């Protein structure tokens, strides 16, 4: 593996802290020992002949990869995750020419197997009408930011509590998504839109397309990709979208990206180049220009702005 990836983030907890968690009543049930994010991780490749003493969770959000476990080879696509069991020899890596972007976590505890035992084979987390991928990614950021603020027992206990929820959202993904479906139904009822689901040319069509954009803020979406998802030609889809929102689909998508950038600048310690890569933009200069055009100031000026008259 190369020394690092542009935009990467990772935390490795000291052995002393890990021992403290193993002896704590709450944390001994489930705790994180290593956590990170690798964008476009070219040449990322790991070989462990003896395995490791934790479960290894890898969630691919973009690009492709592979892993080998117990004599079987698996190919990993975007929107898939897997978990490698404790102590099992394994190999994994990014696909050459289309390297994966991954969230990864090493974890263990007396309850860890409850979440991990079902996921030795690839599991899908596909964007759909009621998926909540963006919520889950924000949850990862909260876990990471909490741990980054220091390895106090309070921080680690809160991160562990969030991690239960994070893993539960994957282990019980249908139940996790059903909440969103119920909320959507209630909203439609409140808006007196009984025919919304069968009327894709109305607000429901645009809402579904915006939801798809929100679930893919970390990716590079093209007009053709949005067109395929909507089922309409690019020109007709753009016309319908502009009719409802007043702006073109890709303009709206970039606006969503910059809103997320503002949130990360306000609420995390992520570096600007890390935010850039997290939002699927490889060119930091382009990101800065886009941010300035939409927000009205540079990312650096936004982060260090001071309130005044």
Instruction: Tell me what pLDDT residue 306 has.
Output: 53
Q: pLDDT (tens digit, 9 = 90+) per residue, 72-109?
A: 999 999 999 999 999 999 999 999 999 999 999 999 99
The average confidence (pLDDT) of the chain is: 89
**Do 264 and 278 meet the contact criterion of CB atoms below 8 Å apart?**
yes
Band (pLDDT 50/70/90 cuts) for residue 308 is: very low
Q: pLDDT (tens digit, 9 = 90+) per residue, 99-155?
A: 999 999 999 999 999 999 999 999 999 888 888 999 999 999 999 999 999 999 999
On the CB side of 186, CA atoms within 13 Å amount to 6
**Which value, in Å, is the radius of gyration of the alpha carbons in the chain?**
21
**Do 125 and 173 meet the contact criterion of CB atoms below 8 Å apart?**
yes
Instruction: Tell me what pLDDT residue 191 has.
Output: 43
Instruction: Tell me what pLDDT residue 241 has.
Output: 92
Band (pLDDT 50/70/90 cuts) for residue 5 is: confident
Domains and CATH numbers, the chain: 9-176 (2.60.120.280), 194-309 (1.10.10.60)
pLDDT at residue 307 greater than cutoff 50: no
pLDDT at residue 242 greater than cutoff 50: yes
Instruction: Tell me what pLDDT residue 291 has.
Output: 95
pTM here is 0.81
Instruction: Tell me what pLDDT residue 183 has.
Output: 54
| Calculated CA dihedral for residues 67, 8, 32, 166, nearest 10 degrees | -80
The CA–CA distances, whole Å, from 249 to 143, 145, 167, 219, 242 equal 32, 32, 33, 15, 7
Residue among 260, 143, 275, 272 nearest 213 (CA): 260
Q: pLDDT (tens digit, 9 = 90+) per residue, 203-235?
A: 778 888 999 999 999 889 999 999 988 888 999
What DSSP state is assigned to residue 75?
E
pLDDT at residue 195 greater than cutoff 60: no
Q: pLDDT (tens digit, 9 = 90+) per residue, 267-297?
A: 888 899 999 999 989 898 999 999 999 999 9
- What percent of the chain has pLDDT above 70? 90
- What percent of the chain has pLDDT above 90? 71
> How distant is the alpha carbon of residue 113 from its chain centre?
22
Instruction: Tell me what pLDDT residue 130 has.
Output: 83
Alpha-carbon span 290 to 299, nearest angstrom: 10
Alpha-carbon span 123 to 143, nearest angstrom: 22
Alpha-carbon span 15 to 245, nearest angstrom: 52
Instruction: Tell me what pLDDT residue 61 has.
Output: 94
């Amino acid at each position: 593996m190369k020394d690092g990836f542009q935009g990467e983030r990772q935390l490795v907890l000291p052995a002393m802290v890990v021992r403290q968690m193993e002896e704590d009543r709450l944390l001994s049930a489930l705790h994180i020992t290593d956590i990170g994010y690798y964008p476009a991780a070219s040449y990322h490749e790991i070989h462990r002949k003896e395995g490791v003493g934790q479960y290894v969770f890898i969630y691919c959000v973009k690009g492709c990869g592979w892993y080998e476990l117990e004599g079987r080879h698996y190919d990993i696509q975007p929107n898939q995750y897997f978990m490698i069991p404790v102590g099992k020899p394994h190999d994994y890596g990014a696909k050459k020419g289309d390297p994966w972007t991954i969230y990864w976590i090493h974890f263990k505890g007396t309850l860890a197997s409850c979440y991990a035992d079902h996921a030795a084979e690839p599991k899908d987390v596909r964007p759909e009408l009621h998926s909540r991928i963006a919520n889950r990614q924000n949850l990862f950021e909260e876990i990471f930011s909490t741990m980054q603020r220091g390895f106090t027992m309070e921080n680690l206990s809160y991160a562990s509590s969030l991690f239960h929820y994070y893993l539960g959202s994957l282990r019980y993904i249908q139940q996790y998504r059903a909440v969103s479906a119920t909320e959507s139904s209630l909203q439609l009822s409140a808006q007196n839109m009984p025919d919304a689901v069968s009327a894709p040319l109305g607000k429901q069509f645009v809402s579904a397309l915006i939801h798809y954009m929100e679930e893919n803020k970390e990716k590079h979406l093209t007009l053709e990709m949005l067109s395929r998802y909507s089922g309409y030609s690019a020109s007709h889809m753009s016309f319908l979208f502009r009719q409802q929102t007043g702006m073109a689909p890709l303009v709206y998508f970039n606006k969503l990206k910059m809103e997320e950038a503002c949130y990360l600048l306000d609420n995390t310690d992520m570096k600007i180049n890390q935010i850039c890569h997290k939002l699927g933009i490889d060119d930091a200069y382009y990101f800065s220009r886009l941010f300035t055009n939409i927000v009205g100031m540079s990312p650096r000026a936004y982060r260090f702005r001071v309130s005044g008259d």
